[in-house]
Structure 1
Amino acid sequence: MSGTLLSLEFDRSAITLVRHMVTESARNAGLVGMALEDFVLAVHEAVTNAVRYGIAPRGIAMWREPGLLRCEVTDSGPGIPDRTLHRKRMARFDFGGRGIWLMHRLADVTIRTGPDGTTVLLSAAIP
């Protein structure tokens, strides 16, 4: 990881702190305006999903590559069910289940998941 900006383990009690750290790190990496807000929200969704559905340890790492900001959120949970991972549209009255859908609309996302955990890689272009 070239240009590491952030690397730590987290739990439920650290969600707000992690969001502030992601915001500051992304801003320092060069994201501004809506690009910054979108990326932070996408990462926040990944972090809250890791806390809600994953098992410790949960980690986050953020780094800069030429022209890109990357953030990886990991957990050791049971993995994401296929029906959730590949849902293309949300029903109007569905409660919850929008995190992955939202992440894909706010950032470039790659998800690796299985019985040993999940890794969500989010990327944004740095202007």
Structure 2
Amino acid sequence: MRPRRPDRRRRRGGGQVRRLSFDDQSGVVPLARDFTRQALYAWGWLPAATADQRAAAEDVLLVVSELVTNACLHAEGPDHLAITCDNKVIRIEVTDRGAGQPAPRTPHRAGRPGGHGMFIVQRLCLDWGVVRAPGVAGKTVWADLGAPA
């Protein structure tokens, strides 16, 4: 089964949004990274002209990987991924059916295997959070990253 066709819409203020539904796909982390990479090319983040721009694009791909991986490990897998972009911020949203509350492990110990995902998200992002819709199972974990200069 192929993923649904990506949804590409304009947002107020000139931003764009792209959505990907996973529809019980396997290999969702590479699928999410490829989808995000295509969006970054379409929005001019890639190919990167400078080291800072390359690092910003890699940060976006890493955050997508971490959020989708967390949905796989802790929430029965992701339902969909949404990416929005304007000139200043890119927002990543991963929706799943899980009831858990993501949080960085504290204290963070770099030498310990596993448990680094939300610590990485917290360090790389301008902000992040969780949204739950009343009466609906699951949540959306979102993260905002700054656009490269």
Q: Does the pair score TM above 0.5?
A: yes
Shift of 1:66: 4.0
Match of 2:48 in 1: none
Q: Secondary structure at the match of 2:109?
A: coil
SS of structure 2 residue aligned to 1:79: coil
Do residues 71 (structure 1) and 92 (structure 2) align?
yes
- Larger Rg, first or second structure (1 or 2): 2
Q: Contact (CA 8 Å) 2:96, 2:138: kept in 1 or not? A: yes
**Residue in 2 that maps onto 1:90:** 108
Normalised TM-score (structure 1): 0.79
Give the match's secondary structure for 1:35: helix
Task: Say if 2:37 is the partner of 1:23.
Answer: yes
Structure 2 unaligned blocks of 5 or more = 1-9, 46-52
Matches within 5 A, 1:45-60: 45-55=66-76, 58-60=79-81
* Larger fraction in helix: 1
Normalising by structure 2, we get a TM-score of 0.69
Change (3 A) 1:51 1:109: farther
Give the 3-state SS of the residue equivalent to 1:111 in structure 2. strand
In structure 2, what is the Cα distance between the partners aligned to 1:92 and 1:35? 22
Deviations 1:36-70 (A, max 9, x none): 00111011100111112113562100112342211
* CA offsets 1:13-44 (integer angstroms, 9 cap, x no match): 23212111112212332333100001110111
Q: How many residues align?
A: 124
Distance 2:139 2:115 in 1: 16
C-alpha distance in structure 2 between counterparts of 1:43 and 1:6, whole Å: 13
Identity of paired residues, percent?
A: 28
Partner residue of 2:59 out of 16, 38, 48: 38
In structure 2, distance between residues paired with 1:57 and 1:35 = 24
Greater strand percent: which structure?
1
- Residues 104 and 118 of structure 2 are in contact (CA less than 8 Å); yes or no, is this contact kept in structure 1? no
Q: 1:23 to 1:41 in 2, by over 3 A?
A: same
Q: 1:80–1:113: 8 Å Cα contact kept in structure 2?
A: no
Aligned partners of 1:106 and 1:61: how far apart in 2? 18
Match in the other structure for 1:102:
120
For 1:2-13, what aligned pairs fall within 5 Å after superposition?
2=11, 3-10=15-22, 11-13=25-27
Structure 1 unaligned runs (5+)? none
- Bigger drift between 20-29 and 88-97 goes to 88-97
